[in-house]
Amino acid sequence: SPEALVYTDMDGIVLEVNKRFEELFGYELEETRGKHIEKILTNCSTQILVSDCIFSDLESIAKKKNNKLISVSVSVTLNQVNEQTTGKIFLLNDITNRKASETVNNVLYNISRAANSDISLTQLYPVIREELGTVIDTTNFYIALFDKEKNKLYFPYYADETGERDENFVISKYSDSDNIFHYIFRTGESLLLNYNKYKRMIDRGDFNSCDVITNKQVWLGVPLKIENKIIGSMILQSYIDPNLYSKKDIKLMQFVSQQLATAIERKQAEEKLKIS
């Protein structure tokens, strides 16, 4: 069965579970039998587990044996034997991927709506970081734009846990005209860099190191593009978790960067009109 099944008596004591339940939650049958279902499906809504009602597809969170939380859809029906009600059957479906996809779509919608609203860029940047932060770690988040006239990068918005919240910190750290921000601007490439790849690219002369890099760090950066013109970059980094970002996060960042680049172009054009 694609559904994880738990058979209990009317008091919620587990009598039987199927193979899918064992696979999904990591418990052997003998670990569950004789225990109350609340002891097995921890974190799951108590109202769902102790209700005397029959219901379908109620959503909840449940904890696996390894303590990982998953989203589940729960249905409950009565177990009838010879027209006698002998207990309850819990049917559980893992909907974690679906819920994650819904969350991402919601984030992208909120960012798109904010980018197309009449708020200023100064107001838009923290909205993007906050929205992105619901699906990806944005503790260290940088938006860098390139000023062609001055031939240098500036940082209209950033957050960095190692420095003060002022642009001088970032400017001093990333003022080198051949660092990772400039590389993305120069090449238009999206980058996911762990320590080894970062070091290889530095040794190859692709860009210069901004500071001392450790094997705990990871970078994820995407260009800000308007058609084929690159106007800057958006970067995330972690100082402590080299596995924090993955390739699937690049697509998310690329979509957001498109929204941001379009908003920057439009709002800068509006500012010029006001000035003229």
Beta strands in 113-228 (DSSP E): 140-147, 152-159, 191-194, 218-226
Judge if 82 and 107 occupy the same domain.
no
Which of the listed residues 94, 122, 137 is the one where a domain comes to its end? 94
pLDDT (tens digit, 9 = 90+) per residue, 40-99?
A: 998 888 878 888 788 889 999 999 999 999 999 999 999 988 888 899 999 999 999 999
Q: What distance in Å separates the CA atoms of residue 22 and residue 4, rounded to the nearest whole number?
A: 8
Q: Is the pLDDT of residue 172 over 70?
A: no
Question: Is 144:181 a contact under the CB 8 Å cutoff?
Answer: yes
Position 212 scores a pLDDT of: 61
What is the pLDDT averaged over residues 256-264?
Answer: 91
The answer to whether residues 63 and 131 belong to one domain is no
Domains identified in the chain, total number? 2
Measure Cα distances from 156 to 69, 166, 173, 273 in Å.
37, 10, 15, 20
Which of 42, 63, 43, 58 has its CA nearest to residue 90? 58
User: 243 and 214 in one domain?
Assistant: yes
Q: What is the pTM of this model?
A: 0.75
Half-sphere exposure at residue 220, Cβ-oriented, CA atoms within 13 angstroms: 24
| pLDDT for the residue 88 | 94
Domain encompassing residue 31: 4-94
For residues 269 and 14, the model is more confident at 14
Three-state secondary structure call for residue 33: coil
**Cβ neighbours for 69, distance < 8 A, ≥ 6 positions apart:** 43, 61, 62, 63
The two structure tokens encoding residue 176? 């080198």
Nearest Cα residue to 92 out of 67, 68, 39, 56: 56
Q: Tell me the mean pLDDT in the region 140-169.
A: 79
Same domain, 125 and 198: yes
Interval 100-117: pLDDT, tens: 999 999 999 999 999 989
**What element of type H or E holds 202?**
helix 195-204
pLDDT score, position 171: 55
74 and 185 inside one domain: no
Task: Identify whether residues 72 and 149 lie together within a single domain.
Answer: no
The residues, any chain, with a CB within 8 Å of residue 183's CB and separated by 6 or more, are 189, 191, 201, 206, 207
Last residue of one domain, picked from the residues 94, 126, 145: 94
Which of 29, 61, 94 terminates a domain? The answer is 94
117 in the same domain as 151: yes
**Main-chain dihedrals φ then ψ at residue 222, nearest 5 degrees:** -135, 150
Q: Which pLDDT value is given to residue 30?
A: 95
Q: Which residue has the tokens 């569950």?
A: 32
* pLDDT on residue 175: 55
199 in the same domain as 239: yes
Q: Are residues 9 and 123 in the same domain?
A: no
Average pLDDT over residues 198-205: 88
Which amino acid is located at 80 in the chain?
Q
Q: Is residue 165 domain-shared with residue 226, that is, in the same domain?
A: yes
Taking phi first (over 0 means left), then psi (-120 to 50 degrees means alpha), and beta for anything else, what does residue 232 get?
left
Tokens of 67: 């303590």
24: number of Cβ within 10 Å: 19
Q: Are residues 270 and 168 in the same domain?
A: yes
pLDDT, residue 129, reads: 95
- 262-266, Cβ contacts within 8 angstroms, sequence gap of 24 or more: 262/115, 262/226, 263/115, 263/116, 263/121, 263/124, 264/121, 264/145, 264/224, 264/226, 264/231, 264/232, 265/226, 265/231
User: What is the chain's mean pLDDT, rounded?
Assistant: 88
